[in-house]
C-alpha cells in the first residue's frame, strides 16, 4: 500500500508541475500580447493672454473672466494710466476673445476698474467702480452701454444665477427676466456679511453669513429649500473662515476654507455636512472650484516653516479621488482663480496678471 501511495504522490506532483508550467506560460503569453496601460496625462499651463499685450499704461490687472464658449470670452480689470509725472489713475479694461484674437473694447466710463463680468443667456453684463460709485454696463453686440440698476441699488454687483441667468446683488437679489431686473423678495435682504453660492444647472442655493474674526460666533451656513433659509451645522469654530461653496445638486455640495492653520473641506450629502480629506497635509487654506459637471478643484497655499515659504497647490477630483495637478505658477503665496471656459480650464493668478489655459496631453 505504501508503494501505491508513493506512486500516486509522484504522479500527482508531476501533474501539478505540468499545470503550473502551463499556467505560467499562458501568463507570459498574455503579458507579451497585452496592450500597455496608457500613462497618466501630463498637464501644463500655457498663457492664452499676456496682459502686457492689452495694457497701454504702466500697469494693469485682470479681475474678472466670463465665457460662453472657448470662442466667446470676456475679461475685465484695469489699465493703470500715467497722469502727470508721478500719479496714475485706473482706466477700465474690457477685452473680448473670439477664438482667434483679443480685442480691447471701449468703456463708456473713463476711469475706474471692472469688478465683475457675467456672460448670461441674455447677454454680457459688467459692473464698474470708481470714486463716484458703481456702474452697471451691458454689451449690446457692438459696444458697452451704461444701464440703470434697480432703484436704491446703486452699489449692487453682478453674480451668476441658476440656469444661465444673471443676478444683481445689492440690498436684495435681482434676476434679469424679460428685459428687466426682478427682485427675488422671498430670499430676503442681503447684508455685507452674506455671500451667495448657486448651481448654474440645478438651481440649488446656499448662503454663508460671516461675522468676522472679532466675533465669537462661527459663520452660519444655510440652504434655500425653495421657501425659506434652513441653517445647517458643519463643525466650524469661531476662527473658521469658509472661502466658498461649490454646488452640484441637492445631495452634493462642497464647503472649503481654513481655520487659520489648516485647510478644511466639507461635503454635503443632502442631509448633513461631513469633513472629508482633500487638501494636502501641509495646506493652510482651500478654495473650491468646478469646471465641469463632476469636476472639483481645490486651490490654496501650503506651508514650509523651515524656510518660511507658502507655495501654492492645486488638486483635482473627477469622481475617482483627489490627484495633484501642476498649479499655474509656483510663486510663493500665489493665489489663483479657476474658470470654466467651454470644456477647458483657465486661470488667473495674483502674482502674474496673465490668463492661463490648462493643456493635457
C-alpha cell at 270: 443632502
Question: Does the pLDDT of residue 224 top 90, yes or no?
Answer: yes
**Rounded-to-integer distance, Cα 298 and Cα 265, Å:** 9
Q: What are the DSSP calls for 314-333, one per residue?
A: EEEESSS-EEE---S---TT
33-47 mean pLDDT: 70
> What pLDDT score does 294 carry?
85
Note the pLDDT tens digit of each residue in 46-105: 999 999 999 998 889 999 999 999 999 999 999 998 887 777 889 999 999 999 999 999
> What pLDDT score does 240 carry?
86
> What pLDDT score does 41 carry?
67
Give me the chain's average pLDDT, please: 86
Domain coordinates of the chain in residue numbers? 192-325
> What pLDDT score does 215 carry?
61
Distances (CA, A) of 168 to 63, 142, 155, 226: 18, 23, 10, 19
Res. 203 pLDDT band, cuts 50 70 90: confident
- Report the candidate in 126, 16, 25 with the shortest Cα–Cα distance to residue 77: 126
Q: H helices within 192-291, ranges in order?
A: none
CB neighbour burial string for 95-123, b if at least 16 within 10 angstroms, e if fewer: bebeeeebeeeebebebbbbbbbbbbeee
Res. 358 pLDDT band, cuts 50 70 90: very high
DSSP state for residue 42 in the 8-state scheme: P
**Rounded-to-integer distance, Cα 55 and Cα 164, Å:** 30
Question: Does the pLDDT of residue 217 top 90, yes or no?
Answer: no
Better-scored residue on pLDDT, 84 or 332: 332
Better-scored residue on pLDDT, 214 or 21: 214
> What's the pTM value of the predicted model, to 2 decimals?
0.84
Note the pLDDT tens digit of each residue in 260-283: 889 999 999 999 999 999 999 999
> What pLDDT score does 118 carry?
95
Classify 199 as helix, strand or coil. Answer: coil
**Rounded-to-integer distance, Cα 96 and Cα 104, Å:** 6
> What pLDDT score does 202 carry?
83
Res. 304 pLDDT band, cuts 50 70 90: confident
Question: Does the pLDDT of residue 36 top 70, yes or no?
Answer: no
Res. 251 pLDDT band, cuts 50 70 90: very high
Question: Are 243 and 287 in contact, with CB atoms under 8 Å apart?
Answer: yes
- Report the candidate in 227, 225, 298, 311 with the shortest Cα–Cα distance to residue 264: 298
Percent of residues, the chain, with pLDDT higher than 90: 66
Better-scored residue on pLDDT, 76 or 19: 76
Distances (CA, A) of 313 to 9, 46, 191, 286, 323: 63, 17, 32, 9, 11
Q: Which residue has the cell 483627489?
A: 322
Better-scored residue on pLDDT, 196 or 22: 196
279-307 mean pLDDT: 90
Q: Which residue has the cell 501533474?
A: 15
Note the pLDDT tens digit of each residue in 109-159: 999 999 999 998 878 999 999 999 999 999 999 999 999 999 999 899 999
Q: Give the helix/strand (H/E) hosting 224.
A: strand 220-224
Distances (CA, A) of 35 to 27, 238, 286: 14, 55, 39
Range name among 25-34, 219-228, 298-307 with the lowest pLDDT average: 25-34
Amino acid at each position: 500500500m505504501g508503494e501505491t501511495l508513493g506512486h500516486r504522490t509522484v504522479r500527482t506532483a508531476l501533474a501539478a508541475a505540468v499545470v503550473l508550467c502551463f499556467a505560467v506560460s499562458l501568463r507570459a503569453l498574455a503579458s507579451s500580447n497585452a496592450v500597455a496601460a496608457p500613462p497618466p496625462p501630463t498637464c501644463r499651463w500655457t498663457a492664452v493672454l499676456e496682459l502686457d499685450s492689452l495694457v497701454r499704461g504702466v500697469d494693469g490687472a485682470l479681475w474678472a473672466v466670463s465665457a460662453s464658449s472657448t470662442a466667446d470670452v470676456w475679461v475685465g480689470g484695469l489699465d493703470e494710466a500715467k497722469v502727470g509725472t508721478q500719479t496714475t489713475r485706473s482706466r477700465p479694461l474690457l477685452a473680448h476673445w473670439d477664438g482667434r484674437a483679443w480685442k480691447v473694447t471701449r468703456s463708456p466710463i473713463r476711469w475706474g476698474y471692472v469688478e465683475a463680468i457675467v456672460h448670461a443667456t441674455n447677454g454680457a453684463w459688467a459692473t464698474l467702480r470708481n470714486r463716484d460709485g458703481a456702474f452697471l454696463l451691458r454689451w449690446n453686440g457692438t459696444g458697452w452701454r451704461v444701464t440703470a440698476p434697480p432703484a436704491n441699488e446703486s452699489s449692487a454687483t453682478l453674480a451668476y444665477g441658476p440656469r444661465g441667468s444673471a443676478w444683481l446683488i445689492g440690498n436684495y437679489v435681482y434676476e434679469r427676466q424679460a428685459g428687466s431686473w426682478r427682485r427675488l423678495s422671498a430670499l430676503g435682504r442681503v447684508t455685507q456679511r452674506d455671500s451667495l453660492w448657486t448651481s448654474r444647472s440645478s438651481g440649488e442655493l446656499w448662503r454663508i453669513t460671516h461675522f468676522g474674526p472679532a466675533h465669537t460666533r462661527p459663520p452660519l451656513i444655510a440652504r434655500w429649500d425653495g421657501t425659506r433659509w434652513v441653517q445647517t451645522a458643519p463643525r466650524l469654530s469661531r476662527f473658521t473662515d469658509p472661502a466658498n461653496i461649490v454646488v452640484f445638486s441637492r445631495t452634493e455640495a462642497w464647503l472649503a476654507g481654513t481655520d487659520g492653520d489648516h485647510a478644511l473641506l466639507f461635503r454635503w450629502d443632502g442631509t448633513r455636512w461631513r469633513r472629508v480629506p482633500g487638501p494636502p497635509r501641509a495646506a493652510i487654506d482651500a478654495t473650491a472650484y468646478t469646471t465641469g459637471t463632476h469636476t472639483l478643484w481645490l486651490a490654496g497655499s501650503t506651508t514650509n516653516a523651515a524656510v518660511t515659504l507658502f507655495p501654492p497647490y492645486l488638486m483635482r477630483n473627477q469622481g475617482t479621488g483627489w490627484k495633484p495637478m501642476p498649479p499655474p505658477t509656483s510663486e510663493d503665496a500665489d493665489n489663483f482663480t479657476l474658470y470654466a471656459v467651454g470644456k477647458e480650464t483657465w486661470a488667473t493668478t495674483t502674482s502674474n496678471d496673465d490668463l492661463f489655459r490648462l493643456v493635457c496631453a
